[in-house]
Structure 1
Amino acid sequence: MSTSNIFPGALAPMPDAMSATLIWPGPEPVAPPRFVEGFELFAAFAREAGADPAALAADLGALWDFVAAHPELLAAPETAEAAERFLGNAIAVVHPAARWRFTSEPEVGTSTISVPVAGLLRGIIEHPEQREPFREMLVSWPQADRDAEEHAALTHDEVDIDFVVTPVPFTRPVLSIPEFVDESGHVIHYGSRWAGGSPPEDAYSRVTHPERFAPAMGVVDALVDHLETWYDVDVDRRSDESGARIWHLRPTTGAQITLTETAESVFIQAGALTREYAPSCTCDACDETAESVADQIEETVLAIAAGGLREVYPVGQRRWLHTERRTPDGGGRSGGGQPDPSLSADELDDAADLLGRLPDGWWPAWTLRSAQS
């Protein structure tokens, strides 16, 4: 590795796409570099323009202003690439944990934030007014890393859960699925539209036939009846002014669940802070079906009743919510992020107090009825 009097560390070649792939058997993997070589053309450009490259490397704000004032950096590919590498190295000066990697293009960052350097160069020149938001991102980056580490630690250990399942498994009612056609009259095969490939870009902003989810709504009645039959739970059924049906399930032990059903979705509220929509997304790209929505509702609700819900709040300085769902068959999923923004500070404090009294955030299972009528 070479060294430089501009950046405080050894210089390495730019990683390529294959360097991120572990080939076994093979040599020991090479740690990703903090600084890469190949920025010399930019350093020479800066000197000719009357700037000190070392000073620019040590002051990302000054570097931003210099790049923004010289759009000609984009004129030649060689100069642009050198500027990109210089920019990435300067980010690594500001955030010493940042490392270079090559995904679809060169990036510098950590597991929480990674900056594509080609996009950054063009962004500085085309949108110099984004200087302050970029600076704020850099300031918050170390805390984002710490929060992510704390969040990752929550999912590190395996947990033995005392699941309580019903003696008779839930049986889904038969769903009556109508055919849906496109503008040309061809049948749309929801659930397999993209044949394992990538959907077109416009599919992410397009929703066709949202009524295709309606058959899954009939599952909720049967699911609530099943839970009420086997678990010691009080169920309040009502409708609101919009006509949406609501079930509020209050078990004698474990997390409460409220289900709000409209014509095309179910909103699931559980425990202290868990919120979930089924379907989670209605766009054509996600290609959800009535069957997949029914799967989601059943898996979520049955797992919570069986004792598979975990809520940890607050996590880290950003006060994230961490949730986990475990199923008796060994499945599960986890998530994290800000809690429902509609909740007040007092409501969040009450939730934190409640969850702090649970063993590591795990809600107990619902209690089975001693006898079924």
Structure 2
Amino acid sequence: MTTSNVFPGELAPMPDATSFAMIMSPSDGPVPRARFVEGFELFEAFARDAGADPAALAADLAALWDFVAAHPDLLASPEVADAAARFLGNAIARAHPAATWRMTSEPEVGTSTMSVTVVGLLRTIVERPDQREPFLEMIASWPQVDRDAQELSALAQEDADVELVVAPVPFARPALAIPEFVDDDGRVIDYGSRWAGGSPPEDAYSRVSHPERFAPVVSVVDALVEHLETWYDVDVERRDGEAEARVVHLRPTTGAAITLTATASSVGIEAGALFRDMMPSCTCDACDETAETVADQLEETVLAIAAGGLRELFPVGDRRLLHARILTADGGGRSSSGEPGPSLPRDLLDDATTLLERLPGGWWPAWSLRSAQH
């Protein structure tokens, strides 16, 4: 066992990508997580030569940041820079005892919620010393982020003890008229399977081609509204929005109201107190969404909310997060968690808190079915 007078624990070799893959796939057997890695001796010697105490630097991330920022010449030697990165990662693990090392494309130290690439951080300290306070604030908030994540994970795994109320007749999606789109070379673009199961090219993440391919989803919005208006007791208001958007407000006698904002490139959903969603969530070429996949998610979400499958919990944890869950009639669905939109006023958040406190477990009731269809 290799130990150090600087870090309080056993030193391990730097993990490789294979070890990380085994941790993510535990069927291969447990793999020990490295909290402290070896190979930082050159940095210790560098610090001593510069008149610093390595043990003091290891115990104080602010002092370590200041030391590295004041000695950019340590990057001149690849060996010293590597040792400095290892020392820096070990210091982060010491500051946050749940953090461990892993290797993805480069060495990282982190937990399931946050991770720091140590080589990149080392460069940031030298090149962007003004980031000192944001970094220290992130380290200070990290334990709370972990606690919030654990609480949200538990909420997502809770059994849903709710009874959904679905319409007597299932929703029938209208046939989507999907036009063909071609690339710059005149080839038809096969949206939905462009990358054949492989990884998209890097530039695809910043490229958006033919966002109008989602325009057929507007017909699904119209059909959904007609379906809900037929089977549920709901008031429907249609109006024109900005930029040629079509806005539909659905106000049921019971349950969560829904507002749909449809354009040729997306459909926005606002429901309940704070639930917000945009479909598609991303229009970039890498995500490769299609009108069909957007229609699937739109139907799933809207029909679930009407049936009583929307849960909203706010505030969760010290960071006042919003936890939302969509439960579908087949027992499926999804959960999402995060901070409410930054543009939401404080009064709205206060009203949402009061409103959601009155809902059993945060579950909105189902919309009432019409007593007689018309």
Q: Which moved more, 1:57-66 or 1:233-242?
A: 233-242
Q: What is the number of residues matched between the two proteins?
A: 372
Tell me whether 1:366 sits opposite 2:367 in the alignment. Answer: yes
CA distance in 1, matches of 2:27, 2:346: 54
Partners of 1:31 and 1:224 in 2: how far apart? 54
Report the counterpart of residue 115 of structure 1 in structure 2.
116
Q: Which residue of 2 aligns with 1:9?
A: 9
- Note if contact 1:240-1:246 (Cα within 8 Å) is conserved in structure 2: yes
1:295 CA drift (Å) = 1.3
Q: Which SS does the other structure have where 1:155 is aligned?
A: helix
Tell me how far 1:57 sits from its aligned partner: 1.0
Superposition CA RMSD, Å? 1.9
CA distance in 2, matches of 1:91, 1:340: 31
Q: 2: CA distance between counterparts of 1:242 and 1:116?
A: 42
Partner of 2:342: 341
* 1:69 shift after superposition: 2.8
Shift of 1:16: 2.6
Work out the CA distance in 2 between the residues paired with 1:24 and 1:229: 50
Q: Following TM superposition, by how much is the alpha carbon of 1:24 offset from its aligned partner in structure 2, in angstroms?
A: 7.3
Q: For 1:275, what is the secondary structure of its paired residue?
A: strand
Note if 1:316 corresponds to 2:317: yes
Aligned-residue offset at 1:357: 1.0
Given that 1:57 and 1:86 are in contact with CA atoms closer than 8 Å, whether structure 2 keeps it comes out as: yes
Distance 1:24 1:31, change over 3 A: closer
Q: Tell me how far apart the structure 2 counterparts of residues 71 and 296 of structure 1 sit (CA, whole Å).
A: 51
2:68 corresponding residue in structure 1? 67
Q: Give yes or no for contact 1:217–1:264 (8 Å, CA) kept in 2.
A: no
Cα distance change of structure 1 residues 76 and 246 upon mapping to structure 2, 3 Å threshold: same
Task: Tell me the TM-score normalised to structure 2 length.
Answer: 0.94
Is 2:211 the counterpart of 1:239?
A: no
Q: Map residues 283-362 of structure 1 onto 2, 5 A cutoff.
A: 283-362=284-363
Residues in 1 aligned to 2:242 and 2:106: alpha-carbon distance in whole angstroms: 52
* Deviation of 1:318 (Å): 1.2
CA-to-aligned-CA distance 1:252-299 (integer Å, 9 cap, x gap) = 221111111223221111111111112211111111111112112111
How far, CA to CA, are the matches of 2:189 and 2:16 in structure 1?
A: 41
Percent identity for Structure 1 against Structure 2: 73
The Cα of 1:43 is off from its aligned counterpart by 0.8
Superposed displacement of residue 220, structure 1: 0.9
Deviation of 1:49 (Å): 2.2
Q: Which runs of 5 or more residues in structure 1 are unaligned? A: none
1:250-289 equivalences under 5 Å are 250-289=251-290
| Distance in 1 between residues matched to 2:27 and 2:68, nearest whole Å | 44
Equivalent in the alignment of 1:151: 152
Query: Structure 1 pair 156/49, CA: closer, same or farther in 2 (3 Å)?
Result: same
Matched to 1:363, the amino acid is W
Shift of 1:243: 4.0
- Equivalent residues in 2 for 1:154-233 (5 A)? 154-233=155-234
For the residues of structure 1 that align with 2:179 and 2:260, how far apart are their CA atoms?
25
How far the C-alpha of 1:241 sits from its partner, in A, is: 5.9
* Partner Cα distance (2:114, 2:294) in 1: 32
Q: Deviations over 1:138-164 (max 9, x none)?
A: 122122122222222211322233111
- Hey, what's the Cα distance between the residues in 2 that align with 1:94 and 1:39? 17
Q: Bigger shift: 149-158 or 7-16?
A: 7-16
d(CA) in 2 for partners of 1:144 and 1:10?
Answer: 26
1:81 partner amino acid = D
Task: Using structure 1 for the length normalisation, give the TM-score.
Answer: 0.94
Moved more, 98-107 or 114-123: 98-107
Letter in 1 for 2:319: R
AA at the equivalent of 2:2: S
Matched letter for residue 88 of structure 1 = G
